[in-house]
């Protein structure tokens, strides 16, 4: 895959900030996020507790995993998930990529692996159904994410956005979004960037509702989910 032009790396310890712009959707979108997040936490609490127990009992490790992601205007936040990988995942990945040139090429192109040795058996099921991402409801409640928006990225991924970087930084990252209902990992990263740009440039509340409605069938089909 041909990547977009990489941006200059920021100095160590310095956050990447876009020019200050109003958040996509403004106060109305944020108000919807707060009400929806509180409702989701209330109604899904039994499921959240059950999933937490399954993760804990699977190997005795930690229940949650958080990773620094880039949010609106370049601010960093801990993106929450149920843990789906072994706890020494970085070492396992490095060794796997060292031994498998094809996997290394796949990782460099998409930052994903269809056959990822780090994923636990419980984690595989959670990922297939996107249940591992449910703790991000708390990120939404805290204002770090939105129910709908671009998927949260790390710095190496943001560097691939090229001229679309301002679109990403203007929005709160989403629990779901146009990429999730359009094939997820079955589409190239270039198309993913295009989806994020299109979403930001064409945002409406009706567009958000349409994406939310289409998310459930996309999750059930598990298309591009790995």
* Residue 158 pLDDT: 87
Residue 176 forms part of a structural domain: yes
Burial 106-121 (b: 16+ CB within 10 A, else e): bbeeeeebeebbbbbe
Q: What is the pLDDT of the chain when averaged over all its residues?
A: 86
Domain co-membership, 77 together with 104: no
Q: Which two tokens stand for residue 220?
A: 């059930």
* Domain that includes residue 129, residue range: 26-84+119-221
pLDDT tens for each residue of 127-155: 888 899 999 999 999 999 999 999 999 98
Domain co-membership, 191 together with 216: yes
Confidence of residue 9 (pLDDT cuts 50, 70, 90): very low
Domain co-membership, 124 together with 194: yes
Domain co-membership, 80 together with 150: yes
Confidence of residue 106 (pLDDT cuts 50, 70, 90): confident
Domain co-membership, 195 together with 96: no
**Of 159, 150, 125, 111, nearest to 25 (Cα)?**
150
* Residue 2 pLDDT: 37
In the predicted model, what is the mean pLDDT of residues 19-26? 81
Residue 32 forms part of a structural domain: yes
Residue 14 forms part of a structural domain: no
Domain co-membership, 66 together with 95: no
Residue 38 forms part of a structural domain: yes
* Residue 157 pLDDT: 86
* Residue 114 pLDDT: 83
C-alpha triplet 134, 149, 170: angle, nearest 5°: 135
Please say if the pLDDT value at position 3 is more than 80.
no
Q: Which two tokens stand for residue 68?
A: 């620094």
When mean pLDDT is compared over 18-27, 42-51, 116-125, the highest value belongs to 42-51
Q: Which two tokens stand for residue 84?
A: 């789906």
In the predicted model, what is the mean pLDDT of residues 184-211? 90
pLDDT tens for each residue of 29-58: 999 999 999 999 999 999 999 999 999 998
- Helices 101-110 and 89-99, axial angle in degrees (round to 10): 120
d(CA 21, CA 98): 42
């Amino acid at each position: 895959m041909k990547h977009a032009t990489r941006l200059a790396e920021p100095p160590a310890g310095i956050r990447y900030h876009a020019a200050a712009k109003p958040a996509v959707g403004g106060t109305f979108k944020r108000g919807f996020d707060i009400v929806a997040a509180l409702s989701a936490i209330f109604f899904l609490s039994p499921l959240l507790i059950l999933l937490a127990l399954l993760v804990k009992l699977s190997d005795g490790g930690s229940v949650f995993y958080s990773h620094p992601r880039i949010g609106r205007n370049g601010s960093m936040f801990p993106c929450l998930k149920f843990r789906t990988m072994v706890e020494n995942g970085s070492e396992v990945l490095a060794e796997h990529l060292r031994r498998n040139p094809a996997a290394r090429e796949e990782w460099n192109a998409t930052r994903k692996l269809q056959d990822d040795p780090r994923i636990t058996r419980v984690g595989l099921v959670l990922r297939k159904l996107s249940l591992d991402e449910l703790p991000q409801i708390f990120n939404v409640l805290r204002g770090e994410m939105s129910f709908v928006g671009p998927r949260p990225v790390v710095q190496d991924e943001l560097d691939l956005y090229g001229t679309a970087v301002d679109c990403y930084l203007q929005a709160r990252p989403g629990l779901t979004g146009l990429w999730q209902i359009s094939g997820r990992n079955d589409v190239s990263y270039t198309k993913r960037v295009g989806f994020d740009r299109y979403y930001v440039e064409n945002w409406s509340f009706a567009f958000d509702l349409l994406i939310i409605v289409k998310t459930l069938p996309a999750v059930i089909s598990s298309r591009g989910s790995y």
